[in-house]
């Protein structure tokens, strides 16, 4: 195995850092060495580890100390990193001896043939570092301690800054909504999505780092069983295929696809839940089929040039809230093979009229007398916010009207801002207090067993419930009467993951925020 030269790997002088990869004759080899965490290549192991330390915060000396790596453990760890493509932060956990993820003997098999990094003598390095520590002067020791202190202070400052930015985003969002809600004018909004930077979008992904939201989604039987049934009952679509799971969360869809025979499943998620997903995949012995990547789809590169199938549970309230379909379309245009498919492949948005005087009173009349005080000015603010509720079928008073149909395999992002006319025929005499929006989902293309589900008031309850747009002034209708209107849905230019929904009914303009 190659050994460290006398110059050693020493932080005190960057020019002295040199780990040379030697061949049997003692000559430096010219074989390239690929980085553990990106695609860059170098002419020596020393340069590769230097790059890993400077660009990926992976210092092999620190990792050796954390885990007490011997030669075998070192080889397994390197192959684990190359196999799972895990970020370097995963290696700083630290793990206990019982749950070290690379302890399985399967990681003795090299991922890259003749990988020079595997030939590095980690045990010689350990002895050398101990000798260096013995020879280090008190002055150098003090300097090292100071550097450690500075590092800890920097990490603390970075953590505090992150928390401060989160608080600032919350305050910013509140201020924007307050200012926009106080306006009584109808403003035209741009038909183009405002693409926020990764930092500005962190708050959205952070919300999916909490475990409770994933439990809620997994416990939604309509949602999860529909995906499971689609995949398991259409295994012909998945056998031997490369699958991309966007927003994989706990990797439940990735594991369904792997069990259905997919040759390789790539799950991508920006939230911290990805680290639990890695453990879940290992716990179910699917790490050979499933690769998990942390990051935004728009920022990462996949380990393959194209995929055969894209699966994603991207739907939000009123279908398009959260704008995650934009991400699916981006991935489709970049990676989907010419004859590939996106699932679910079809969906639609529907409206029904509802007559719920009790709910209307609780939202509107409440403000007329609040512990003896009038707060009527709050009515307009409350009315401009749609609400997510479980709408009982008994309050529905019209036939449904489809206002938007989307083919996910062919639609463009610009299609997601739309204007549509609708007609609602009343099924009984009642007072219409608002409109109820819901969506339907279809797994259809090339399916031997087609699967679909609905979030309508008459269907089994889902975590999406229904979206309610409450009228300030209810309207009376008789059975057979027609309510005609126009709806316009656009992204909110102040917050591209929320929506602005406008209705025009009987010459009256109404504006709502879905957020």
Best CA proximity match to 343, nearest among 481, 238, 413, 209: 238
Q: What is the DSSP string of 35-62?
A: -SSSS-EESSHHHHHHHHHHHH---HHH
Residue 332 neighbours by CB under 8 Å, 6+ apart: 310, 342, 408, 409
Cis peptide before 471 (omega within 30 of 0): no
The answer to whether 213 and 207 have CB atoms below 8 angstroms apart is yes
- Is 216 one of the catalytic residues? no
Q: How far, CA to CA in Å, does 445 sit from each of 149, 342, 410?
A: 59, 9, 12
The residue annotated as part of the active site, out of 3, 155, 272, 322, is 322
Q: How far, CA to CA in Å, does 101 sit from each of 111, 264, 416, 491?
A: 16, 20, 42, 43
The residue annotated as part of the active site, out of 17, 313, 368, 429, is 313
- Is 287 one of the catalytic residues? no
3-class DSSP state of 386: coil
Cβ-in-10-Å burial (0-12, 13-18, 19+) of 379 comes to middle
Best CA proximity match to 241, nearest among 230, 254, 225: 254
Best CA proximity match to 289, nearest among 266, 321, 313: 266
The answer to whether 111 and 82 have CB atoms below 8 angstroms apart is yes
Best CA proximity match to 321, nearest among 464, 165, 454, 124: 464
Other C-beta atoms lying within 10 Å of the C-beta of residue 64: 19
Catalytic machinery residues: 313, 322
């Amino acid at each position: 195995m190659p050994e460290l030269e006398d110059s050693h790997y020493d932080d005190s002088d960057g020019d002295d850092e040199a780990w040379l990869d030697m061949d049997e004759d003692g000559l430096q080899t010219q074989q390239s060495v690929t980085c553990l965490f990106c695609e860059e290549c170098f002419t020596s192991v020393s340069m590769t580890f230097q790059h890993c330390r400077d660009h990926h915060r992976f210092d092999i000396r620190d990792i050796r100390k954390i885990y007490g790596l011997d030669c075998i453990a070192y080889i397994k760890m390197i192959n684990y990193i190359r196999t799972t493509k895990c970020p370097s932060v995963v290696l700083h956990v630290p793990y206990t001896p019982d749950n070290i993820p690379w302890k399985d003997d399967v990681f003795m098999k090299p991922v890259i043939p003749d990988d020079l990094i595997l030939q590095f003598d980690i045990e010689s390095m350990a002895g050398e570092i101990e000798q260096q520590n013995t020879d280090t002067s008190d002055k150098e020791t003090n300097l090292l301690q100071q550097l450690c202190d500075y590092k800890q202070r920097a990490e603390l400052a970075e953590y505090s800054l992150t928390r401060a930015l989160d608080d600032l985003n919350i305050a910013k969002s509140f201020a924007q909504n307050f200012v926009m809600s106080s306006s009584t004018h109808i403003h035209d909004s741009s038909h183009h999505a405002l693409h926020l930077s990764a930092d500005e979008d962190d708050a959205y992904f952070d919300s999916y780092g909490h475990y409770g939201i994933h439990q809620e989604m997994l416990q939604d039987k309509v949602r999860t069983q529909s995906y499971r049934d689609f995949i398991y009952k259409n295994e012909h679509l998945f056998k031997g295929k490369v699958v991309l799971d966007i927003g994989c969360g706990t990797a439940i869809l990735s594991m369904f696809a792997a069990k259905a025979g997919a040759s390789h499943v790539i799950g991508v998620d920006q939230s911290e839940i990805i680290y639990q997903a890695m453990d879940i995949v290992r716990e179910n012995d699917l790490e050979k089929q499933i690769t998990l990547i942390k990051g935004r789809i728009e920022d990462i590169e996949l380990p393959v040039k194209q995929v055969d199938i894209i699966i994603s549970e991207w739907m939000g309230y009123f279908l398009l809230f959260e704008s995650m379909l934009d991400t699916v379309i981006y991935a489709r245009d970049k990676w989907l093979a010419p004859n590939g498919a996106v699932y679910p492949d079809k969906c639609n948005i529907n409206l029904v009229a509802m007559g719920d005087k009790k709910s209307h009173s609780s939202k509107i009349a409440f403000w007329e007398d609040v512990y003896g005080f009038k707060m009527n000015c709050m009515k307009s603010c409350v009315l401009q916010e749609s609400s997510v509720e479980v709408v009982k079928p008994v309050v529905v008073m019209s036939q449904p009207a489809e206002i938007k149909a989307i083919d996910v395999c062919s639609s463009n992002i610009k299609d997601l801002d739309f204007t549509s006319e609708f007609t609602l025929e009343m099924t009984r005499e009642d007072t219409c207090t608002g409109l109820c929006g819901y969506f339907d989902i279809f797994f259809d293309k090339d399916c031997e067993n087609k699967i679909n589900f609905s979030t309508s008031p008459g269907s089994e309850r889902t975590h999406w419930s229904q979206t309610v747009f409450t009228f300030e002034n209810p309207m009376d209708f008789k059975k057979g009467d027609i309510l005609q209107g126009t709806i316009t849905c656009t992204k909110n230019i102040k917050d591209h993951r929320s929506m602005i929904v406008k209705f025009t009914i009987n010459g009256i303009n109404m504006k709502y925020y879905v957020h």
